[in-house]
Amino acid sequence: MFNNKVMKEFYTLSEAADYLGKSKQTLRRWDREGLLIASREPVSNYRIYKKEMLNQFVGDLFDRSVQDNETNYVPSNKPYSVLELFAGAGGLAIGLEKSGLNCIALNEIDKWACETLRMNRPHWNILEGDIKDFDFSSFKGKTDIVTGGFPCQAFSYAGKKLGLSDARGTLFYEFARVVDEVQPIVCVGENVRGLLSHDNGRTIQGMISILDEIGYNVVPVQILKAIHYRVPQKRERVFLVAIRKDVEVEYNYPAKYNRIYNLSDALKKGELFDSDVPESDGAKYPKYKKKVMEMVPPKGYWRDLPIDIQKEYMGGSYHLDGGKTGMARRIGWDEPCLTLTCSPAQKQTERCHPDETRPFTVREYARIQTFPDDWQFAGSIAQQYKQIGNAVPVNLGEEIGYSLIDFLNRYSSIINESQKSMTG
Ligand SMILES: C[S@@+](CC[C@H](N)C(=O)[O-])C[C@H]1O[C@@H](n2cnc3c(N)ncnc32)[C@H](O)[C@@H]1O
């Protein structure tokens, strides 16, 4: 996959493809999707790749991993502060807190999610309401990190490089506006995988160019798979890490763990939790659906039903293309759960309990997202499922936290050194 060519300053498309052991077509796609963005040769406009960028990408391709019994944990050299936007029920926030970061404020519009945050962390500064209505400039100089899982919306293009004002009206605009007001050392946007292909890759490109305009360099965007970060669920999230341009320190995504956890690790006593999952309320299947789901074995789906039931249950979808592997799906104990959604019993994304014919309960949902058992959720059962389904898995948030602490430790050492040399 990787040959030992001597590195030079710039690589052409075919040299970069050769270097990474990928096809030129793959590199063109990665460029469009923002995974590995090429520069352009000024005269020919051909794609060229900077040495540092390839080096960093190679590092990622080499699959940095943490061996069993090792950890990404790194203690912080000093207290670091986070402003968490679009905080939801706090999945990312608790993960960051577990890593040792200090949440100085959290913004969220949903009243039940705010209630959840207040109930569990009465001392947190919860700014409840629409982000548009808040001025965050008082956090300038006090905030090392701004984070936020902004909902993804298209920009309207005027056929040029996007600037902040072009994104007005979107929630990404609000995220970038806060970053601009607060000037953190680093900011982290979090989103669904679909962000990379949204509007044929133009949305992510627009975000990168807006962050550039407000003085931030975006680290090559990566999809992180939660299963590599001590989460018993096949959830994927895109992370957009941007570093203030005066900060010349490299950011490294957290190394992956070798150990993959499954549903049994989530719901039973073991390495992830020191007791079986507590009992709690949960949704139920209507009678007909229960009858159908009873015929599906663990790890099975609609194809495991008798043909006549398949046709009846699937209706019009029966003749459509695509595997539809989420329909009538029952999870097995020995596999990671499929991505949880905001509602536990949707026809396209069914996730039935392995032994009992029912959706996962609220506490089972929370376990699969690695929330601690003592984290309570406010609102109706449907509101609770929604908050949990929306969250960044806590353990993934914790690992992102360590990567940020490692980055900030290295930055603070450089600042200390330069202060010493000025006073010495
Ligand atoms: C994907 S969820 C965030 C999940 C959260 N990071 C976690 O880990 O639990 C996005 C959140 O943005 C919130 N939101 C949407 N529009 C908003 C707005 N205009 N102002 C503030 N929050 C908003 C939603 O209520 C939702 O809770």
Considering the domain architecture, whether residues 88 and 140 belong to the same structural domain is answered as yes
Considering the domain architecture, whether residues 25 and 143 belong to the same structural domain is answered as no
383: in domain: no
Residues 51-64, mean pLDDT to the nearest whole number:
68
Reported as a pLDDT band with limits 50, 70 and 90, residue 299 is very high
132: in domain: yes
168: in domain: yes
Contacts of 48 (CB under 8 A, 6+ apart): 10, 11, 12, 13, 38, 39, 40, 41
- Residue 263 contacts residue 273 (beta carbons within 8 Å): no
For ligand 1, pick from 82, 92, 108, 388 the residue to mutate: most ligand atoms within 8 Å of CB: 108
Residues 316-345, mean pLDDT to the nearest whole number:
91
Given the CA of residue 151, which atom of ligand 1 is nearest to it?
A: 10
CATH number at residue 49: 1.10.1660.10
Contacts of 151 (CB under 8 A, 6+ apart): 86, 171
Given the CA of residue 110, which atom of ligand 1 is nearest to it?
A: 25
* DSSP at 40: E
What is the rounded average pLDDT for all residues in the chain?
91
Q: How far apart are CA 57 and CA 50, in angstroms?
A: 11
**Tokens 């990408």 found at:** 57
232: in domain: yes
Q: How far apart are CA 165 and CA 320, in angstroms?
A: 42
Considering the domain architecture, whether residues 19 and 149 belong to the same structural domain is answered as no
- Domain edge (last residue) among 33, 59, 85: 59
CA distances in angstroms from 285 to 75, 81, 317, 329, 360, listed in the order given: 46, 44, 20, 13, 11
Q: Supply the pLDDT for residue 59.
A: 61
Picking from 125, 126, 130, 127, the residue whose alpha carbon sits closest to that of residue 109 is 130
Contacts of 58 (CB under 8 A, 6+ apart): 2, 19, 20
Q: How far is the CA of 386 from the centre of ligand 1 (A)?
A: 11
Given the CA of residue 392, which atom of ligand 1 is nearest to it?
A: 8
Contacts of 77 (CB under 8 A, 6+ apart): 408, 409, 412, 413
Q: How far is the CA of 149 from the centre of ligand 1 (A)?
A: 7
Q: How far apart are CA 135 and CA 157, in angstroms?
A: 27
**Tokens 């899982």 found at:** 149
Reported as a pLDDT band with limits 50, 70 and 90, residue 4 is very low
Considering the domain architecture, whether residues 55 and 195 belong to the same structural domain is answered as no
The per-residue pLDDT for range 265-295, each reduced to its tens digit, is 999 999 999 999 999 999 999 999 999 999 9
- Residue 229 contacts residue 399 (beta carbons within 8 Å): yes
Residues with a known catalytic role: 152
4: in domain: no
Phi, psi of 190 (to 5 degrees): -130, 140
Q: How far is the CA of 43 from the centre of ligand 1 (A)?
A: 44
Provide the residue type at 122 as one letter.
P
**Tokens 């010493």 found at:** 420
For ligand 1, pick from 82, 84, 86 the residue to mutate: most ligand atoms within 8 Å of CB: 86
Q: How far is the CA of 414 from the centre of ligand 1 (A)?
A: 35
Q: Supply the pLDDT for residue 152.
A: 80
Considering the domain architecture, whether residues 246 and 130 belong to the same structural domain is answered as yes
The per-residue pLDDT for range 173-209, each reduced to its tens digit, is 999 999 999 999 999 999 999 999 888 888 999 999 9
Reported as a pLDDT band with limits 50, 70 and 90, residue 41 is confident
Considering the domain architecture, whether residues 14 and 79 belong to the same structural domain is answered as no
Report which protein residue has its CA nearest ligand 1's atom 12. Answer: 86
Q: Name the domain count of the chain.
A: 2
Considering the domain architecture, whether residues 111 and 18 belong to the same structural domain is answered as no
For ligand 1, pick from 390, 398, 399 the residue to mutate: most ligand atoms within 8 Å of CB: 390
In DSSP notation, 342-358 reads SSS--STT--B-SSSSS
For ligand 1, pick from 92, 101, 109, 239 the residue to mutate: most ligand atoms within 8 Å of CB: 109
111: in domain: yes
Given the CA of residue 90, which atom of ligand 1 is nearest to it?
A: 9
Considering the domain architecture, whether residues 46 and 165 belong to the same structural domain is answered as no
Q: How far is the CA of 228 from the centre of ligand 1 (A)?
A: 24
Angle at 101 between CA 96 and CA 107, to 5 degrees: 65
CATH number at residue 147: 3.40.50.150
Max CA separation in the chain (angstroms): 83
Q: Is 314 helix (H, G, I), strand (E, B) or coil?
A: helix
Q: How far is the CA of 89 from the centre of ligand 1 (A)?
A: 9
Given the CA of residue 113, which atom of ligand 1 is nearest to it?
A: 27
354: in domain: no
Report which protein residue has its CA nearest ligand 1's atom 27. Answer: 88
- Residue 4 contacts residue 58 (beta carbons within 8 Å): no
Percent pLDDT > 70 in the chain is: 95
Neighbouring C-alpha atoms within 13 Å toward the C-beta of 109: 11
The per-residue pLDDT for range 106-150, each reduced to its tens digit, is 999 999 999 999 999 999 999 999 999 999 999 999 999 999 999
Reported as a pLDDT band with limits 50, 70 and 90, residue 61 is low
Considering the domain architecture, whether residues 103 and 207 belong to the same structural domain is answered as yes
Report which protein residue has its CA nearest ligand 1's atom 26. Answer: 88
Considering the domain architecture, whether residues 247 and 123 belong to the same structural domain is answered as yes
Q: Supply the pLDDT for residue 83.
A: 98
Considering the domain architecture, whether residues 76 and 54 belong to the same structural domain is answered as no
Q: How far apart are CA 413 and CA 392, in angstroms?
A: 30
- Residue 5 contacts residue 45 (beta carbons within 8 Å): no
Whether the pLDDT of residue 6 is over 80: the answer is no
Considering the domain architecture, whether residues 17 and 128 belong to the same structural domain is answered as no
374: in domain: no
Q: Supply the pLDDT for residue 210.
A: 94
Q: Which residues line ligand 1 (CB under 6 A)?
A: 86-92, 107-110, 113, 130-131, 149, 151, 171, 390-392
CA distances in angstroms from 124 to 298, 317, 352, 418, listed in the order given: 42, 47, 36, 34
Q: How far apart are CA 360 and CA 35, in angstroms?
A: 35
Picking from 245, 241, 237, 154, the residue whose alpha carbon sits closest to that of residue 189 is 241
**Paired tokens of 337:** 């759960």
Range of the domain at 244: 72-260+395-423
pTM: 0.86
Q: How far is the CA of 374 from the centre of ligand 1 (A)?
A: 22
The per-residue pLDDT for range 352-371, each reduced to its tens digit, is 999 999 999 999 999 999 99
Q: Supply the pLDDT for residue 2.
A: 35
Provide the residue type at 118 as one letter.
R
